[in-house]
């Protein structure tokens, strides 16, 4: 029996090593192995471990896995339904891509109710995994980030409004998309099963756009949403004081997340490690001391503890911004009752990669995976 067990472990180990070859990999450790054993059957793990890095046709994957096309197609269909494979329709046939962990099967695991999984156990395993050595660095530590911060549109000063490009504004990204989908926030759903969720909205809040939204709808991970639906969610999450994190690309971004510092894996990484897991927006808060009433609302509103109250010299307390930490979301300025916190345009602007392909190429080059 020992050789059978060892062979099975080798299959899952090969899958783990394959996942870690992605531009945004998945560091191999004990927790990852436990996650994979629960999400993949042995056959699915064997297929996944032999998957090409780029999207490929059924024929090419059949050659790589040495599995007949008919059997393989059935296996890939089940894997796609579970969110382990992404199937991409083309005019000349379907291409298949092994889903990475992030953005990928972590989110898909928690975007809907799963009858085939102990979801509490999965929440505990992913929670343990995300806090292990090297994992956050892999997901959020590189120079080219997966996420960028989107400042609240209403806080963009009128004097620079015409200079702001569409990829900097959440509302313009949504309008240009023509609509998308809304799903469960994976991070808050995970936190819910750990008994740690906050009161921020969890259902029909995770915003996906373009082809990503079409796939999520097709596979039942999310519901269709019009531009107006998505703009209403944008407004509702701003009123709740959440941070907008968008796909860090200029053209055809795939998602906008509405995040809190207690549940969001990205903001938690900033809070717990001090690193900067997102590209900041092109805005930074500045304090107008004449208008400040020392209420401290900005401190309470900040999800990453970038604002503190300090002595103003005259006995009063005034807010101080740690600009090394600040990601320029505008939540503090939105919470200010006296308009003492203003978002100012930076002199040096961040320009994201043009496309998803360029983004992943940059990440892969930075990690020496090209």
What does the pLDDT read at residue 325? 94
Q: How do residues 47-100 score in pLDDT, each as one tens digit?
A: 999 999 999 999 999 999 999 999 999 999 999 999 999 999 998 899 999 999
Same-fold call for 2-132 versus 283-345: no
What does the pLDDT read at residue 273? 87
- CA–CA gap between residue 113 and residue 316 (Å, rounded): 51
The 206-209 sheet, strands edge to edge: 147-150, 243-247, 255-259, 206-209, 180-183, 223-225
Confidence of residue 38 (pLDDT cuts 50, 70, 90): very high
Average pLDDT for the chain: 95
Domain extents in the chain: 2-132, 283-345
Length of the chain: 370
User: Does residue 315 have a pLDDT over 90?
Assistant: no
Q: Which two tokens stand for residue 342?
A: 């203003």
What does the pLDDT read at residue 3? 52
CATH number of 283-345: 3.30.70.20
- CA–CA gap between residue 144 and residue 148 (Å, rounded): 10
The residue-averaged pLDDT of 343-355 equals 95
Q: How do residues 218-275 score in pLDDT, each as one tens digit?
A: 999 999 999 999 999 999 999 999 999 999 999 999 999 999 999 999 999 999 988 7
Confidence of residue 5 (pLDDT cuts 50, 70, 90): low
Q: Which two tokens stand for residue 213?
A: 């939204």
- CA–CA gap between residue 86 and residue 79 (Å, rounded): 8
Q: Which two tokens stand for residue 79?
A: 């894997």
CA angle at 221 for the pair 53 and 110, rounded to the nearest 5°: 85
The residue-averaged pLDDT of 37-44 equals 98
Considering the chain, what percentage of its residues have pLDDT values greater than 90?
A: 91
User: Does residue 360 have a pLDDT over 90?
Assistant: yes
Considering the chain, what percentage of its residues have pLDDT values greater than 70?
A: 98
Kind and range of the H or E run holding 343: strand 341-345
Confidence of residue 292 (pLDDT cuts 50, 70, 90): very high
The 85-90 sheet, strands edge to edge: 56-57, 93-98, 85-90
CB 206 within 8 A of CB 111: yes
The residue-averaged pLDDT of 303-320 equals 89
User: Does residue 4 have a pLDDT over 60?
Assistant: no
What does the pLDDT read at residue 33? 98
What does the pLDDT read at residue 196? 95
What does the pLDDT read at residue 363? 97
What does the pLDDT read at residue 169? 97
What does the pLDDT read at residue 177? 97
Confidence of residue 114 (pLDDT cuts 50, 70, 90): confident
The residue-averaged pLDDT of 34-49 equals 98
- CA–CA gap between residue 253 and residue 21 (Å, rounded): 23
Q: Give the orientation angle of helix 69-81 with respect to helix 42-49, to 10 degrees.
A: 100
In CATH terms, the fold of domain 2-132 is Arc Repressor Mutant, subunit A (1.10.10)
Q: Which residues contact 264 (CB under 8 A, 6 or more apart)?
A: 187, 243, 245, 257, 303
- CA–CA gap between residue 140 and residue 127 (Å, rounded): 16
Cis bond before residue 25 (omega within 30° of 0): no
What does the pLDDT read at residue 2? 52
- CA–CA gap between residue 97 and residue 357 (Å, rounded): 14
């Amino acid at each position: 029996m020992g050789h059978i067990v060892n062979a099975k472990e080798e299959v899952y180990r090969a899958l783990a090593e394959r996942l870690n070859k992605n531009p945004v990999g998945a560091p191999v450790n004990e927790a990852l192995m436990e996650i994979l054993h629960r999400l993949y059957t042995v056959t699915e793990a064997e297929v996944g471990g032999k998957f090409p890095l780029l999207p490929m046709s059924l024929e090419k994957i059949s050659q790589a896995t040495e599995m007949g096309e008919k059997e393989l197609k059935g296996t890939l269909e089940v894997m796609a339904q579970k969110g382990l494979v992404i199937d991409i329709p083309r005019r000349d046939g379907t291409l298949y891509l092994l889903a990475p962990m992030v953005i990928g099967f972590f989110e898909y695991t928690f975007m809907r109710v799963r009858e085939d999984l102990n979801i509490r156990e999965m929440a505990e395993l992913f929670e343990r995994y995300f806090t292990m050595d090297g994992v956050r660095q892999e997901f959020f530590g590189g120079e080219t980030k997966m996420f960028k911060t989107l400042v609240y549109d209403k806080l963009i000063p009128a004097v620079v409004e015409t200079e702001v490009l569409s990829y900097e504004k959440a509302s313009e990204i949504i309008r240009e998309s023509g609509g998308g989908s809304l799903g469960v926030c994976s991070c808050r759903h995970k936190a819910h099963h750990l008994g740690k969720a906050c009161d921020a909205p969890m259902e029909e809040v995770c915003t996906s756009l373009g082809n990503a939204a079409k796939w999520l709808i097709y596979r039942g991970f999310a519901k269709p949403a019009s531009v107006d639906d998505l703009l209403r969610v944008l407004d509702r999450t701003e009123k709740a004081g959440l941070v907008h994190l968008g796909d860090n690309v200029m053209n055809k971004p795939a998602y906008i997340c509405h995040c809190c510092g207690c549940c969001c894996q990205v903001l938690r990484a900033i809070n717990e490690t001090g690193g900067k897991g997102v590209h900041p927006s092109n805005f930074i808060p500045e304090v107008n001391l004449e208008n400040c009433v020392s209420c401290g609302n900005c401190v309470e509103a900040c999800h990453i503890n970038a604002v503190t109250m300090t002595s103003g010299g005259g006995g009063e307390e005034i807010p101080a911004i740690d600009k090394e930490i600040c990601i320029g979301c505008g939540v503090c300025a939105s919470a200010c009752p006296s308009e003492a916190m203003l978002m100012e345009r930076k002199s040096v602007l961040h320009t994201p990669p043009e496309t998803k392909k360029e983004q992943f190429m940059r990440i892969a080059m930075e990690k020496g995976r090209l």
